[in-house]
Amino acid sequence: MALPLSGPLSLNDIRIEQNQSAKSPYSLIDASTSAVGYSLVNPDSPIPPINTPPYSISEWYGYSAFTIVWNNISNTKLDIYVNNVLTLTTSAAIGGVLDVNLNDTFYATFTPLSYGTFTTLNLEISQRNTTSPFPYVVLQSISRAAGNFSPNSTSATPITVTPNALGIGAYKIDTFGF
């Protein structure tokens, strides 16, 4: 769960959100700069810490180590379920970020509304694995050929939110056409 936007916030709260084991001492500077032995600061968090001196606990308000970035095209209806509860539904060409928790389960469904100039519509779920220019690895990819409106929606397989080798659970859901 994301750190609170206001109120009490401690180094231990940050350590827990970062899914770090107990460290003595736990360093705010090392956490902020993703030092060796610390989890990467999730670049997909809606409110990431600033990562430059002077380091402050207040920079961590609203931070989330576990997120789903999503993008939808106008030709599809996208539904995202977290723990089997419909959490987001849209048919607009927009995107955003959902905060999720460690061990949550999520999946997405997409429904073609029109194919327009596309010959296929696609749903892709990826997980961030690096901070390189191509930071995501595809976990699932589903394609629907033009004119295929049956069944109405197609579901991806549920995925459990887990930290990757960088210590974050950053996922991405895209709908797109070819």
Strand runs labelled E in the chain: 66-71, 76-82, 85-90, 95-99, 105-112, 120-128, 136-145, 154-155, 159-160, 169-177
Segment of 43-47, 85-89, 131-135 carrying the highest mean pLDDT: 85-89
Calculate mean pLDDT across residues 15-21. 86
Count Cβ neighbours within 10 Å for each residue of 14-53 and write b for 16 or more, e otherwise. bbebbebeeeeebebeebbebeeebbbbbebbeebbeeee
List, for residues 157-178, the tens digit of each pLDDT value: 999 999 887 788 899 999 998 8
Residue 28 has pLDDT above 80, yes or no: yes
| Location of structure tokens 């379920």 | 81
**Which of 53 and 9 is assigned the larger pLDDT?**
9
